Amino acid sequence: MTNVVHEGAGHGLTALATGANSGVLTTVAWSSAFDSRLVEAGGTLANLIAAIVFWVFLRAAGRASMSVRYFLVLACAFNLFAGTGYFLFSGVTDFGDWAIVISGLHPHWVWRMALVVVGAASYYAAVRAVGVWLVRFGGVPRQQWRRLRRLTIAPYVSAIVLMSVGALLNPLGIQLLWQSALPATAGGQSGMLWLPYAIPRKAAPQANQALVRRDWPWVVAAAILALLFLLLLGRGITVHR
Residue 155: which of 102, 79, 60 has the closest Cα?
A: 79
Cα 13 to Cα 38: distance, rounded to the nearest angstrom: 11
By CB atoms closer than 10 A (0-12, 13-18, 19+), residue 233 is buried
Model confidence pLDDT, tens digit, residues 97-111: 999 999 999 999 999
Model confidence pLDDT, tens digit, residues 12-54: 999 999 989 999 998 888 889 899 999 999 999 999 999 999 9
Cα 68 to Cα 193: distance, rounded to the nearest angstrom: 22
Cα 52 to Cα 201: distance, rounded to the nearest angstrom: 24
Does the pLDDT value for residue 183 go beyond 90? no
Average pLDDT, integer, range 79-99: 93
Model confidence pLDDT, tens digit, residues 135-167: 888 777 777 878 888 889 999 999 989 988 887
Specify the pLDDT at position 176.
Answer: 65
Average pLDDT, integer, range 216-222: 92
Confidence of residue 210 (pLDDT cuts 50, 70, 90): low
203 φ, ψ (degrees, to nearest 5) = -65, 135
Average pLDDT, the chain: 89
Specify the pLDDT at position 63.
Answer: 79
